[in-house]
A = this chain, B = another copy of it.
């Protein structure tokens, strides 16, 4: 897969994350401003946090036109057709899993390219993948879903990020590794949804 293939996937991932932000705005009965803000923050927040940390400023979200416009299109879509979007939610979740896989892999890669250690690059890969959703929930006035709902969401991202960092340590390069790690994280995420796999709670905390 060439760079333009990654770019198209990147925008697709951003778009789907923005849809999830827009749907959160509908649920919270926000207005058009809230919808646009949640769409943009959910889609771009993780990458912005990563870029601030590695010192790549302005962050990509503030240099690329498509990064700002894709969430805007998603916000318009959800604004007018949210009942229809809600009806195809399983498909949205599938695309969200694809975004998760892609962003954990590309986020880790970018951190490694900026000279961060494998451990810290994995951390930033996960931040790239789940940071936008955490900001979406904080802005919606609720505890971030990823912190309590016991779905496998951050863990597949952690796995995908680790594969990218391990491959780099083994001096394996190329888009194939990134794509493979993304597909792995995506697959685990989809399997976890299908089979209802759960993360553990601290010992002794009842369900």
Contact = CB atoms under 8 A, between A and B. Distances in A.
B57 A203 contact: no
A26 interface: yes
Contact of A63 (B35, B79, B117, B154): B117
A119 B120 CA distance: 32
A173 interface: no
Contact of A78 (B124, B134, B149, B202): B202
Interface in A100-147: 114, 116-117, 119-120, 123-124, 134, 138-144, 146-147
A204 interface: yes
Interface stretch (A11-19, A48-56, A163-171): A48-56
A200 B35 CA distance: 11
B82 A202 contact: yes
A159 interface: no
B116 A58 contact: yes
Interface string A61-93: 011010010000000001111110000000000
A33 B155 contact: yes
Interface of A: 25-26, 28-35, 37-38, 48, 52-55, 57-59, 62-63, 65, 68, 78-83, 114, 116-117, 119-120, 123-124, 134, 138-144, 146-150, 153-155, 199-205
Given A53-B57, A82-B202, A138-B138, 13 more contacts: A25-B202, A31-B201, A33-B153, A33-B155, A34-B148, A37-B154, A54-B57, A58-B114, A58-B120, A81-B203, A82-B204, A134-B139, A141-B143
